[in-house]
Amino acid sequence: MTKLIFVLNGPNLNLLGKRQPEIYGRETLEDVERNCAKVGAGFGLDVRLLQSNHEGQIVDWIHEAREAAAGIVINPGAFTHTSVAILDALNAFEGPVFEVHISQVHKREAFRHHSYVSMRSDGIIVGCGIEGYELAMRRLGTLLAD
Ligand code: DQA
């Protein structure tokens, strides 16, 4: 049976492709969705890509994932560095969680070096551009294989 993966994106990632392209590249969230769907299809995984600029909405989607999703790929954007609420929500999710950062956060400002979400993440992919989402999908495919 096909399993569903939630690919969750936090604030400002709706501007992916337009916002600071020297850091985040010129590809868009639509490109991320298409690439994740392509990788997922090879593993029998469906993808639901979601983006919000609002912390509570992301918490609500993680709650929804408890019933609906076999795994989560999450790029929490700036909430990575601030949100205990997103960490708590992920701790209430039982499946595998992969954290993605498009940029290499450890080469950037010190405030980007700490991630609350990493305390829950089963794997972290940093600095691989939007390919990081595909790598996370591939790993989920391996972990969730029957
Ligand atoms: C980001 C890194 C965060 O520090 C930043 O706030 C983002 C994007 C990344 O994908 O590289 O919005 O998560």
pLDDT above 90 (res 146)? no
Label residue 134 by pLDDT band (50, 70, 90): very high
Label residue 71 by pLDDT band (50, 70, 90): very high
User: Which CATH fold topology does 3-143 show?
Assistant: Rossmann fold (3.40.50)
Q: Which atom of ligand 1 is nearest to the CA of 132?
A: 10
pLDDT in tens, 73-119: 999 999 999 999 999 999 999 999 999 999 999 999 999 999 999 99
- Which pair of structure tokens corresponds to residue 56? 């509570």
What spacing in Å lies between the alpha carbon of 105 and ligand 1's midpoint?
7
Listed by start position, the domains of the chain span 3-143
Residues with CB under 6 A from ligand 1: 12, 75, 77-78, 80, 101-103, 105, 112
Label residue 46 by pLDDT band (50, 70, 90): very high
The whole-number pLDDT of residue 2 equals 87
Q: Which atom of ligand 1 is nearest to the CA of 101?
A: 10
- Which pair of structure tokens corresponds to residue 66? 């408890």
140, with CB counted inside 10 A (0-12, 13-18, 19+), is buried
Q: Is 101 a catalytic residue?
A: yes
